[in-house]
Amino acid sequence: MVEGCCRLQLQASRYGECDSVNEQNMSAVHPDTYPGTPDHSEEESLDLNFYLWMFLRGKWVILAFVLAGLLVAGYVNKTTTPVYRSSSTFMYTTDNSMSRTLDMPGTFWFQMDALRNDQIHLINSRIMAELVADSILHSSDSDSIISVLFLGDIPERPYIRNALVSLAQSTVSVSWIKDTNFFVLSGSGYSPEASAVITNLFLFVYDKWNKQQARGENTEVRLFLEEQLQHTSQQLDLSESALLQFKEEHGITDIDTETRDLITTLSSFETQARTAATNAAAARVRRDYLNGLLGEQRETVTGDIVSSNSEYIDQIQSDLARYESARAALLADGAGNESEPVRAMEQRIDTRTQELAEALQDVAGMNYPANPQRGIEGLVSSIAEAESEYRSSTAREQALRAVVNDLSAGMTELPEFQYELVSLERNRRVNENIYILLRTRYEEVKIAEIGQMGNVTIVDSALPGGMIKPTTRRNLIMGIMVGLAAGIGIVFLFHQMDTSLRNPEQLERLDIPLVGVIPESSQKTGGDRIPLMLLERSKSPNAEAIRDLRTSLSFSRPEQGIKSLLVTSSGPREGKSSVSANLAVAEAEAGKKVILVDCDLRRPTVNKTFGFKRKPGFTELISGKATIDEVVKKTEVEGLFVICSGHIPHNPAEMVETAVKKGVFSQIAEACDMLIIDTPPAAVVTDAVVIAPAVDSVILVVRSGKIQKKVVQGVWQKLLRSGGHLSGAVINGFDPIRTYTSYTYYTYKYQYYYEEQSE
């Protein structure tokens, strides 16, 4: 008894709930004031210790999943075909040498980011991939290149081109380096060499294509000038021959000053007019060439620009025609090209020409403000530029042609001989000037064509690349992380799916008072015999737990006292018979006369535990076949007596009801200091519910981790409705190592006893 009180004082000091042992145990029957009971008025905070315990308990499951993740990652690393990536760098600029060659205005661009997007979409297009495939197939060492690209697994010949196109499209990517004109072209392959080969091939084909596009404009203009040069050369030869023949026929050796001045004036204006016509024709050729680059789906773009005759554009063109006429008139009146009036007029012409180009560009911008097909903005702008040049040159030609026509009309007053001489000499000079001009332009364009390097400058070629797949380290880390997450998830899921009652906190959340916790016993016995811990292992944690239970019960009804106690459980094999027997021994050790009655008439165990026969027993007492003195058997424990079950009746429930009605339990209680009744599980049969009102106290034995919380709660409510006095529940088979509890009292207590036993 002293030991029990000392242990109770230790428990009381642990929680600091009260100053006296009596007050401590008085609170045991009230879940809201029981030592260590959580405060249900506040939300339960996250118990990190619980999760730590849960994960430590499931460490082998978590470790298994981590190992599985590592195995999967290793398998992926081993079976994945290595992929390598190489990168090259090139610079893209927006220079346009053709405009400078033909003295045209600078190119107008919509936005620089549109040009960058043009190049990215172009490189990623199927057309570029097809050009790469064709360059490989037409190469002298195509077989070796294909073998490198496909790791020797060469596709069948009919499908080789499509395979190369697909490979080129799927393995090459391009990105722009921010705030620069530099781009990074990257390619991947199944070997370091393959990644470098496909990247350099793509870069070479793209550079070649860009040069062809840049030279194409020069080539078209050169061919036009070449044709005009040939025609002008023929006209010059004819005009020189005609003039020479005329002079020989008429014996002319020299031309007078007046005629020479007239010829000079006429040939000068005629040369300027034909020069303007040549520039207009060259602009038209350039415009048509650029339009051809757009493709059939964009033919209307040129139509929109060419047919643009808005009021504003008409006004500009009218001003250009007027200014060109005024300029021509000034020149016709003898003003030089460097004179102030002519220069002022030329400045006006340049301004209006610039405005015309901008207006035509606005037409393209209004019709295609946000073009979905990237890659045509620059071409549309160049077409607008060429159209502006064509219109301004045409206006100049018309103005100069008007002056030439006026001068030619004045020549009709000359004598026939002088008129013909002036005409022949004018034609010769004009053809000569035009020929010289065309020859000069032709050579300039030819040089520009040869020297045109395009807009692309290769900065760095690709070298054999490094491996990008499989990412061994990342895969291993991912395997560990995924395995860890899966393991933790499984452990947490299993815990959430576990609805069994395991620890004191869960019991008290059901508003069921806790009167005792009995740890899991390591002692095993054969058959149905129940080990008596207080006799066999008196210093074991189980024995101490029984003594604690005895003490707690003695204070559960301090005023009335407990002379009769019913012990039941929710389901079978929860240890209620073990608790009954060991509690009876503990009460006997305390000096009481105790009678243990086996009322489990379906699966009796008391007779086996204490080594008696079942008959005569409880059923014989009820049926009147034996008296109390005949059924009470003395055990080896001083003060402990038992009443076995007797014969197994066909109607145990009716037998129990009869006993209650006859007051048998009261009669037995009068013959002892403590009556302990072992009844069958209350969730299975009603025996315990029937007996509960006839005894002083009822305790419910709950085996940790065996029975669901809802079942325990249902049985507790059933017992409450019976009208009996319920002292509380006993958790049996509690393992503080395997079962988490925030009540460090139990962990400390049983760890202390375990260490003591090991010593």
CB atoms under 10 Å from CB of 151, counted, come to 12
* Buried-state track 223-246, b at ≥16 Cβ within 10 A, e below 16: ebbeebbeebeebbeebeeebeeb
DSSP-derived 3-state class of residue 421? helix
What DSSP character marks residue 708?
A: B
Burial of 649 per CB tally in 10 Å (0-12, 13-18, 19+): middle
Task: Retrieve residue 392's tokens.
Answer: 């301004």
Strands 640-643 and 466-469: unpaired
Among the CATH numbers 3.40.50.300, 3.40.50.620, 3.20.20.70, 1.10.630.10, which is that of 2-38+498-521+529-758?
3.40.50.300
514-519 and 726-734: which strand pairing?
A: parallel
Average pLDDT of the chain, as a whole number? 77
**CA distances (Å), 535 to each of 3, 169, 239, 309, 755, in order?**
16, 86, 144, 118, 20
Q: Tens digits of per-residue pLDDT, 327-367?
A: 777 776 777 777 888 788 888 888 877 777 777 767 655 55
Model pLDDT, residue 747: 52
Three-state DSSP at 527 gives coil
Q: State the pLDDT at residue 738.
A: 61
Spatial distance between the Cα atoms of 317 and 349, rounded to a whole number of angstroms: 10
What is the spatial distance between Cα 186 and Cα 414, in angstroms, rounded to a whole number? 76
Residue 735, C-beta contacts closer than 8 angstroms, at least 6 positions apart: 519, 520, 704
Is residue 35 reached through a cis peptide bond, with omega within 30 degrees of 0 on the bond before it?
A: no
Structure tokens at 425: 């000499």
3 state SS of 487? helix
Q: How many helices (H) and strands (E) does the chain have?
A: 29, 13
Starting at the edge strand found earlier in the chain, the sheet holding 640-643 runs 514-519, 726-734, 697-703, 564-569, 674-678, 594-598, 640-643, 632-634
User: Do residues 225 and 438 make contact, with C-beta atoms less than 8 angstroms apart?
Assistant: yes
Low-confidence ranges of the chain (pLDDT < 70): 1-47, 94-114, 216-217, 252-260, 262-263, 293-310, 332, 361, 363-380, 410-415, 417-419, 449-453, 522-529, 736-759
Furthest CA-CA distance within the chain: 178
Compute the C-alpha angle 686/690/696, nearest 5°.
Answer: 130
Cα–Cα distance for residue pair 572/605, rounded to 1 Å: 12
* DSSP secondary structure of 399-411: HHHHHHHHHHHHG
Q: DSSP string of 489-526?
A: HHHHHHHHH--B--SHHHHHHTT--EEEEEEPP----S
| Spatial distance between the Cα atoms of 759 and 757, rounded to a whole number of angstroms | 5
Asked if residues 380 and 364 have their Cβ atoms less than 8 Å apart, the reply is yes
Predicted confidence at residue 31, as pLDDT, reads: 39
Which positions ≥6 away from 41 have C-beta within 8 Å? Answer: none
**CA 531 to CA 26: how far, in whole Å?**
31
Q: β-strands 594-598, 674-678: how paired?
A: parallel
Give the distance from CA 474 to its chain's centroid: 16
Task: Please tell me whether the overall predicted TM-score, pTM, comes out greater than 0.85 for this model.
Answer: no
Closest among 638, 614, 640, 643 to 628, alpha carbons compared? 643
